Structure 1
Amino acid sequence: MAVVLFDSFAEWKKSCETEDKPLYFPVLEYEARERGHQEEQIRANLLRAYQVMKDAVQTGLKEDMTSRSGMVNNSGKKVFNSPVTVLSPEFQKLISRALAAKEVNSCMGRVVAAPTAGASGIMPGVLVTLQELHNLNDDTMIEGMLVAAGIALIMEKKSGIAGAVGGCQAETGTAAAMSAGAIVYALGGSITQVFNAVAITVQCMLGLVCDPVAGLVEVPCIVRNASAAAIANSSAQIAIADVSSVIPVDECVDAMGEVGAHMEDRYKETALGGLAATPTGKAIAKRVLISDIDIIEEDESDL
């Protein structure tokens, strides 16, 4: 049975400060211990995972991303090629990349579940844009991914990372917190600043329900990946300026767990509430169900 890395962010911080180790180092040791791999192999595996993230971004921006339900229709490409730039070209790239990578998942392509497939567009959008904008080397990105993994391990233990457990706050919220922490680390932020970024992100994502239309991880999941990527960057910008989260990160994550535990089941990936229960959501669900039945009947007739 795997041994939990740390029970809290406070414990993680204390360990690094006591042993004078960088934030990523205990996660690297944990991975080596649990998998029996050497550091070089772990870094190589993470680099491959990062390449899959990059590939998902490129696939989503270059290939046709239309899902069988019709709800996914090349939104990443549309945003990337839009003549209207709301803030900056970099922001436009961030949003389009997060959309594109998540659309690859919805169209049955290859992604990295970081921490889940439903949130698989957030870290690719954030990390690819971060590296490009700041000209960071791959070693820095890998260390940022290790920090993100450590964040996810603690959040999984304290609040859960699945929409079915804690709503979308647990899924896209965790991915956004991972991304915010990775940004601050990669840009040279302190441990306190990294954890403030996580806490601020959680505060911004707290209470978000999981209400997939027709039970498919498409609407509103894809656009939430984009908004979560934006929140990750805003939280990182706030934290790296040394703004306090006021509420400590462990208390923020505990609050996320408490909110998730008391959230009604219909708001936790059941497609019984929220957007899934709107008239349009119900109509889409009926259409998708009929389409699925037709496909099954066609397949059976070929036997």
Structure 2
Amino acid sequence: MTLSDIARAEPPAWRYVLADEASETGLDPGFITGVIRERLRVMRQSVERGLKSREPSVAGMVGWNAATLWESEDLLRAPLLKRVQAYAMAVNEENARMGRIVAAPTAGSAGTLPGALLGVYDHLEMRDEEALVGPLILAGGVAKAISRTIFIAGASGGCQAEIGSSAAMAAAAVVELLGGEPAAAVNAAALALQNTLGLVCDPVGGYVEIPCVMRNGFYAVHAVSAAQQALAGITSPIPADEVVLAMANVGRLLPPELKETGEGGLACTPTARKLLKKLGEEG
């Protein structure tokens, strides 16, 4: 299954992905949708816990950001913007506290999909939780298609492979939630992915905290923006499968220092070194 296959599917796209997964794994479609419902429950719980907590993370570098944003005055009067960011950061701060989250597709990029999907759902005051099942199945299909071309890991492709993939998943899911055509969902994924090309993986100290938590907040918004463009009829000039190939090529060109080694980018700045020294002294 490729992204192009999904784009050509009869709507809704998630049914094509579900049938493909059932055929490939031999699992009953009802069992698969049951697993997805459980994943949604965990996502919701991690958002709720994360928004209420200010408990520091394991390394102590984050833990209060989601609650700070969520409780702040909305001076921009942009409730959707605030919500999807806060939701995404809440999930990633739960991850940094060693709480329970859903890797989507990785732990470091776990907040983008629930931030965008649940954020839009709540913002629009939707009431049928079952409406989230199909979009999450489609998101899984997008990740599956990407993973067949490049490993979804910062160590292999930089953060573009993690947050880029999660943004693509989230963008497609939001389009599906809002009743968009399969081609629109895939265009949203392509638009989200192509605008993450070259993004480095540079976690300070190797912890999935800085800049990862805030980055998920930013890319949840990025995903919603891609979905909005695709739903308006904007298409990716480069086909989605070619965007994935481009990401894989960029990932191979990135030096090891920019792929989760902690030896490049923000991770090797003077302030990052001082922060790690302080953490070591306190630990």
TM range (shorter): over 0.9
Provide the residue aligned with 2:5 in structure 1: 11
| Aligned with 1:50 (options 40, 45, 49) | 40
Structure 2 CA distance for aligned equivalents of residues 222 and 248 of structure 1: 30
Give the corresponding residue for 1:157: 148
Alpha-carbon spacing, 1:136–1:148, altered in 2? closer, same or farther (3 Å) = farther
Matched, 1:91 2:81: yes
Q: 1:232 aligns with which of 195, 220, 223?
A: 223
- Measure the CA separation in 2 of the matches of 1:98 and 1:251: 28
- Are the structure 2 counterparts of residues 87 and 251 from structure 1 closer, same or farther at C-alpha, using a change threshold of 3 Å? farther
- Which entry has the higher C-alpha Rg, 1 or 2? 1
Distance 1:173 1:157 in 2: 15
1:59 and 2:36 aligned = no
Paired residues for 1:1-303 under 5 Å: 6=1, 8-14=2-8, 16=9, 20=10, 22-134=12-124, 135=126, 137-292=128-283
Distance (Å, rounded) in 1 between the aligned partners of 2:46 and 2:95: 8
Deviation, 1:145, is 0.6
CA distance in 1, matches of 2:77, 2:148: 37
Question: How many residues in Structure 1 have an aligned counterpart in Structure 2?
Answer: 282
| Aligned 8 A contact 1:179 1:232 in 2 | yes
Q: Which amino acid aligns with 1:88?
A: A
Q: Per chain length, whose mean CA-contact separation is higher, i.e. which structure has more relative contact order (CA < 8 Å, sep 6+)?
A: 2
1:74 maps to amino acid: W
Counterparts of 2:106 and 2:81, CA distance in 1: 24
The question of whether the paired residues in 1 share the 8 Å contact of 2:50 and 2:67 is answered with yes
The offset of 1:34, in angstroms, is 4.8
Letter in 2 for 1:140: A
Q: Kindly report the root-mean-square deviation, in angstroms, between the aligned alpha carbons of the 2 structures.
A: 1.6
For the 8 Å contact 1:176–1:201, the answer to whether it is kept is yes
1:159, 1:258 within 8 Å by CA — same for their partners in 2?
no
TM-score where L is the length of structure 1: 0.88
For the residue of structure 2 that corresponds to 1:180, the secondary structure is helix
Q: Is the 8 A contact 2:7 2:184 kept in 1?
A: no
Deviation at 1:283, TM superposition (A): 1.8
CA distance in 2, matches of 1:192, 1:27: 14
Distance in 1 between residues matched to 2:77 and 2:173, nearest whole Å: 23
Superposed CA deviations along residues 18-70 of structure 1, whole A, max 9, x for unmatched, are xx463112321233345543222222211111010010011111123312322
1:102/1:119 contact within 8 Å kept = yes
User: Which amino acid is 2:227 matched to?
Assistant: A
Is contact 2:202–2:266 with CA below 8 Å preserved after alignment?
Answer: yes
> For structure 2, which runs of at least 5 residues remain unmatched after alignment?
none
Unaligned residue ranges in structure 1 (runs of 5+):
1-5, 293-303
Q: Which moved more, 1:156-165 or 1:32-41?
A: 32-41
Q: Deviation of residue 124 (structure 1)?
A: 1.5
Indicate conservation of the 8 Å contact 1:213/1:275, yes or no.
yes
Cα deviation digits, residues 233-277 of structure 1 (max 9, x gap):
000111100012111111111111110110010000000000001
Q: Say whether the 8 Å CA contact 2:58–2:98 is kept in structure 1.
A: no
Rounded to whole Å, the distance in 2 between the matches of 1:61 and 1:140 is 23
Superposition TM-score, scaled by structure 2 size:
0.94
1:270–1:23 distance in 2 versus 1, CA, 3 Å: same
SS at structure 2 position matched to 1:117? coil
Which letter does structure 1 place at the counterpart of 2:144? L
CA 1:65–1:127 in structure 2 vs 1: closer, same or farther (change >3 Å)? farther
